[in-house]
Amino acid sequence: MSTQKIQSALLSVYHKEGLEPIVRLLHQQGVQLYSTGGTRDFIAGLNIPVTAVESVTGYPSILGGRVKTLHPKIFGGILSRREDAGDQQQIREFDIPPIDLVLVDLYPFEDTVASGAAEEDIIEKIDIGGISLIRAAAKNYRDVLVVASREKYRNLEQLLQEKSGFTDLADRKLFAAYAFSVTSHYDSAIFGYFNAGHSVDAFRLSLSGSRKLRYGENPHQQGWFHGDLEAMFEQLNGKELSYNNLVDVDAAVMLINEFAGDTAFAIIKHTNACGVATGADAREAYLKALSADPVSAFGGVIATNQEINLAVAEELNKLFFEVLIAPSFRPEALQLLSSRKNRILLTRKHTALPHKMIKTLLNGVISQDKDDRTETVADLRTVTEREPDEAEKRSLVFAAKIAKHTKSNTIVLAREGQLLSSGVGQTSRVDALKQAIEKARSFGFDLNGSVMASDAFFPFPDCVEIARGVGISAVVQPGGSVRDADSIRYCNASGMAMVFTGIRHFRH
């Protein structure tokens, strides 16, 4: 049956917000309502007639509410094929009422897990009846409309209003597709909870919500973002975020997270930092960050952990950039920065970020824990005769944070609170260092007294030799090479300080 009138509906929902308009519409359109438990009480409280499921099945809700709708008289009414003579004969024989609409909102399993609830409470939030109702109705979409979550309450309300209680096959199939999206996501979340220790050799990932991007990394590639971006940011101005914007926004957010407690700015280009600095105030931090490489900053993505005031906005407004991320904007600053209609301005919300990294590779995916290790002064182990002074230690920690978020092989040159330059993505560490030195010099930086950070160990002493030649005074690296002693020996002979962290930070 392509087009059909909804004559009966079964409602069983956890969240009641937004339900009232639907119930009233269904009642106005002469729909027979069936319900149970709290949903039935809600409907009755609106003074709208509702038939208890228990009066249809002849069984009460049992086992503490675990079994309410699991009965042939309910599932027969959902799964019966309206144009199958055999089905219809059995419906009449067993006095099973047909059900044309199933409206369900599942127990909030993920929210319960996230709340830190006890395991017995989490288990009780695994919906059994609701998930079964959704699957049954979605399977029989040719005859039944299924609404599988509160996110679709409004869609249903609009459908009922626009079509006066009628639905067509396209409507029902679209709602069924969403319903199976809901059930698959729900089951993946439950599997993830039970398989937290990876005892079952399987991979499941489910994200709700998708947005089609203008294109992918290049114009001939299609791109999508899967997830809830609105939970992360509020966009105040500008064009739609592109695939490449999002990649750089991710890099900017991860880097600025390293500087909690400081007033910091980071400028990102192609996922690498071309400017990072801390300062006494936001304006100072931005100008220091920009000075590291004002050429690469053109068209970049900028992030800060401070509110954007007018003084900072006036400096930012002099630069063409793609995206600016901040906790908040003063009204006058927002007005100024919004003068360019395509400039993307984002306020960042407090959102938990995943602790796993996932990437497609060959004919599968690889996953790993996120690199959440960040070294502090306490993690620096001096291996040379000279110990770095306090200012050098702070500079070394600062440089190491940046190196952690830079493409390997990388060398970062810095002094306290400011990136001077970096060599990124080189096939040799020597090339990375030479690139960093040349870049620093091109922007007028004196490297005397600066420090050097490396994302991995030095296999030979050549890097410390080159570094000393340009005035670098202290070095931080993971250590672990069979030739560590060669680098240490050279540093001792030349008066350099070197510290090991014991932690490598490759980034490919």
16, 139, 163, 434: the active-site residue: 139
Strands (E), 173-283: 210-212, 224-226, 233-237, 264-269, 272-278
5, 16, 163, 270: the active-site residue: 270
284/262 Cα distance (integer angstroms): 12
What 8-state DSSP symbol labels residue 353? P
Structural contact between residues 290 and 267, judged by C-beta atoms closer than 8 angstroms: yes
Rg (CA), the chain: 30
464-480 residues labelled b (16+ CB within 10 A) or e (exposed):
bebbbebebbbbbbbbe
Reduce the secondary structure of 80-111 to three states and give it as a string.
CCCCCHHHHHHHHHCCCCCCCEEEEECCCHHH
Q: Tell me, yes or no, if 139 is annotated catalytic.
A: yes
Structure tokens at 312: 């900072």
Cα–Cα distances (Å) from 206 to 110, 226, 381, 464, in that order, read 12, 9, 42, 47
Structure tokens at 168: 């067509």
Contacts 24+ apart (CB under 8 A), 67-76: 67/129, 68/12, 68/36, 68/37, 68/129, 69/10, 69/12, 69/36, 69/129, 69/132, 69/133, 70/128, 70/129, 70/132, 72/96, 73/97, 74/10, 74/99, 74/133, 75/132, 75/133, 75/136
Structural contact between residues 167 and 4, judged by C-beta atoms closer than 8 angstroms: yes
Q: Where are the alpha helices (DSSP H) in 71-221?
A: 72-79, 85-93, 109-114, 119-124, 129-139, 153-163, 169-194
300/275 Cα distance (integer angstroms): 10
Q: Tell me, yes or no, if 15 is annotated catalytic.
A: no
Cα–Cα distances (Å) from 391 to 384, 396, 441, 450, 474, in that order, read 17, 9, 22, 10, 11
- Active-site residues, by number, are 139, 270
